[in-house]
Amino acid sequence: MSTATVVVTGLGVASPTGLGTREHWAATCEGRSGIGRLTRFDPSGYPAKLAGEITGFTAEEHLPSRLIPQTDRVTRLALAATDWALADAGVRPDELASFDMGVVTASASGGFEFGQNELRKLWSQGSQHVSAYQSFAWFYAVNSGQISIRNGMMGPSGVVVSDQAGGLDAVAQARRLIRKGTRLVVSGGVDASLCPWGWVAQLAGGRLSTSEDPARAYLPFDPDARGYVPGEGGAILILEAAEAARARGAHSYGEIAGYGATFDPKPGSGRPPGLRKAVELALADAGAEPSDVDVVFADAAGDPELDRAEADALTQVFGPRGVPVSGPKTMTGRLYSGAASLDLATALLALRDGIVPAAVNVKLSPEYDIDLVVDQPRRLGLRTALVLARGYGGFNSAVVLRAPAPH
């Protein structure tokens, strides 16, 4: 396998902070949060009532009618984000060979709302009333499948399921495929299951904030941290070998320079959590020193124990307050597989513009010796960013991004 440089040439964002890269980035820099009380269904009977919802997305405006009956909201968002990402990259899939294009997305739940509706019909009306599309519309791989069908992408494809870490793991797999010779890979992740069935599944994880105040519910690294607010959405990225991108005159947001992934030890083993090791592996893969990193996009769990583990890892690798830490998730909630993909997109925009977005509403706890950027975004020259993500059950992943070399 080659070690070809792999770059991001297109971004497509569907986030509670905005539809489209421009809207998302403007809201992120202004500190406008997308978290509020759930409107998709009445949450009053549930212990958690807040979410990061995407507003203003009408699928019929973005997709042909053939796709509407067979897709869940999550897939509609993913397909629209893919269209935007391809357009941003200046790629017309019908001009490339089908087998030169692959799709690797991450997914944590699939199409829950579609599944809920069909299970309701099964239970109340009988099996004859269940849609034939239920066979795939709920499935983890549905976004990869529908993106590949819609765009005629028949190269190596797949889906990664590792909760939040998946948003980074998918991009790492996409990079492997490009290094093995695939011309272009659509990657990233979009999750969306803000329906009652999806909601109880998320509640079962036991880490949701039950605060009803949007400004006090999700406070990573804050003394009042009490869990997280879930959200919907994510980002799609277009990945290509730098050489191929250059050859067609494409713009590059930056390089996927390094990747590391670890799994936490068994609880009670006494061994340390694996996040620090994931960071070290990613830095080594990128040929970078901790001092090269200009900004870290934190996983920002909002759970005291997990915040402690992340702050410790950052302090151990970078030293006390050794690097600015950004937490834009505070404006979207945690988007499961969409979270780290969105952080990758946000980090690439941060590198482009030299702006570190602030974590909103958070007051850094004196317990943590990290340089968390709060209140106002910080203007800095940025060359290298580190994005972290942890998935429920012990997944840790880290990606190093590097800004394109100046011309």
Partner 1 sequence: MSADAFTRTDLTRILLEAAGAEEGFDLDGDVLDTEFTALGYESLALLETAGRIERTYGIALDDDLLTDALTPRALIGVVNDLLTVARTV
State the minimum distance, in angstroms, from the CB of residue 138 to partner 1: 15
Phi, psi of 382 (to 5 degrees): -125, 130
Range 132-161, binding partner 1 (CB under 8 A)? 132-133, 135
Q: How many whole angstroms separate alpha carbon 151 and alpha carbon 168?
A: 23
Q: How many whole angstroms separate alpha carbon 318 and alpha carbon 304?
A: 21
Binding segment for partner 1 (CB under 8 A), chosen from 59-67, 151-159, 228-236, 328-336, is 59-67
Q: How many whole angstroms separate alpha carbon 128 and alpha carbon 217?
A: 43
State the minimum distance, in angstroms, from the CB of residue 125 to partner 1: 8
Q: Where are the alpha helices (DSSP H) in 186-253?
A: 196-203, 242-247
Q: How many whole angstroms separate alpha carbon 157 and alpha carbon 46?
A: 38
CB closer to partner 1, 94 vs 213: 94
Binding segment for partner 1 (CB under 8 A), chosen from 40-48, 58-66, 106-114, 345-353, is 58-66
Q: How many whole angstroms separate alpha carbon 325 and alpha carbon 327?
A: 7
Residues 6+ apart with CB under 8 A from 347: 295, 297, 326, 385, 387, 401
Binding mask 72-111 for partner 1 (x = CB under 8 A): ----------------------------------------
Cα–chain-centroid distance for residue 190? 7
Among 66, 266, 271, 407, binds partner 1 (CB under 8 A): 66
Task: Locate the DSSP E strands across 333-377.
Answer: 355-356, 371-372
Binding mask 247-266 for partner 1 (x = CB under 8 A): --------------------
Other beta carbons within 10 angstroms of residue 141's beta carbon come to 18
CB closer to partner 1, 67 vs 119: 67
Binding mask 106-135 for partner 1 (x = CB under 8 A): ----------------------xx-xxx-x
CB closer to partner 1, 4 vs 67: 67
Among 5, 9, 28, 70, binds partner 1 (CB under 8 A): 70
State the minimum distance, in angstroms, from the CB of residue 129 to partner 1: 6
Q: Where are the alpha helices (DSSP H) in 32-141?
A: 73-89, 112-124, 134-137
Amino acid making up residue 394: G
Among candidates 346, 296, 331, 358, which has minimal Cα distance to 188? 346
Place of tokens 């809207």: 23
CB closer to partner 1, 130 vs 250: 130
Among 45, 47, 56, 64, binds partner 1 (CB under 8 A): 64
Cα–chain-centroid distance for residue 364? 24
Cα–chain-centroid distance for residue 49? 22
State the minimum distance, in angstroms, from the CB of residue 91 to partner 1: 21
CB closer to partner 1, 64 vs 381: 64
State the minimum distance, in angstroms, from the CB of residue 128 to partner 1: 6
Binding segment for partner 1 (CB under 8 A), chosen from 8-16, 61-69, 74-82, 110-118, is 61-69
Binding segment for partner 1 (CB under 8 A), chosen from 45-53, 66-74, 296-304, 353-361, is 66-74
Using N-to-C axis directions, what is the helix angle for 73-89 and 142-151, rounded to 10°?
A: 50
State the minimum distance, in angstroms, from the CB of residue 54 to partner 1: 22
Does residue number 287 form part of the binding site for partner 1 (CB under 8 A)? no
Residues 6+ apart with CB under 8 A from 355: 29, 349, 377, 378, 379, 380
* Footprint on this chain of partner 1 (rule: CB under 8 A): 64-70, 128-129, 131-133, 135
